[in-house]
Amino acid sequence: MRMRMIMMMLVAAAPLFGCGHAHPTASQTGPSSASNAVPTQITTTALPAAVQGQPPMVIDDFESYEQGSRLPWHKAPHGNRVDATIGPNISGQGRQSMKLTYQVQPGRGSNYVALMRYQKWDLSGYNALAFWIKPDGQGHSLGLTLNMLDDQGRQHWNLWNASFEGLGTRVGETAARRVVVPFSSLRQDLTYSPIRDVSSVFKPSNITEIVFFVAAKNDRFGEGVLYIDDVEAVVIDEP
């Protein structure tokens, strides 16, 4: 069945990630200027099993973990508290998802959380990352960063960022939805790179880290709970 896409704006991320860790910028409570905005796609229905003949590559569907087991997704060593545990299914496929219990408070370094997974992924042949998310209605900004190694497998903190204006930022909104982030819409950030002579071309074969972040917005602080499910690399049609 053909997906119904709702277009939204994708803006360069506020918190930035590197060294396996998120690094905040001066603007931590919301996306940056809309002049950097690029389009992405959001759908509330699952992607087909195969797009352009290429089945999705599952990064994590959270089905293999036992209740109470330690997940490979964990808090970065800075930012506020966030715990990742097993939660109920939100995508309509399988039994489980990842539950994020987090806390954001006023003040730089306390008004965001970062949850990361560090592993080597070869996403060659794919042009987008897709996942399900169920926001908690708190109205916070949500974002994503991919960390890319060079061709020799060396770490230079070559970061590629996205944040989602309108995704989970509307107070009271809690409906689960599918998010599709084209790799072409990611924005490179070398703020924490020790060198500048790094590739300016995003290479899906060299991904070493995926980070989700939540940043306080609308002067709303305290604890929250949201869910992520079915993180996959996919192939989508692009203009």
pLDDT, tens digit, 9 for 90 and up, residues 46-70 = 444 445 567 899 999 999 999 888 8
Position 1 in a domain: no
Residue 36 has pLDDT above 70, yes or no: no
Cβ contacts of 27-33, under 8 Å, gap ≥ 24:
28/108, 28/111, 28/112, 28/215, 28/216, 29/111, 29/141, 29/215, 29/216, 29/217, 30/141, 30/215, 30/217, 31/141, 31/163, 31/165
120 assigned to some structural domain: yes
> Mean of the per-residue pLDDT values for the chain?
78
Band of pLDDT at residue 115, cut at 50, 70 and 90: very high
Tell me whether residue 187 is in a domain: yes
The total domain count for the chain is: 1
Q: Report pLDDT for 201.
A: 87
Does the structure show a pLDDT above 50 at 75?
yes
User: Do the domain assignments include residue 132?
Assistant: yes
Lowest-confidence range among 45-54, 75-84, 123-132, 190-199? 45-54
Query: Residue 178's domain spans which residues?
Result: 6-234
- DSSP-assigned letter for residue 92: S
Return the CATH number at 216: 2.60.120.260
Residue 86 within a domain: yes
Question: Is residue 210 in some structural domain?
Answer: yes
**Tens-place pLDDT, residues 139-160:** 888 899 999 888 777 778 788 8
Distance between CA atoms of 140 and 100, rounded to whole angstroms? 14
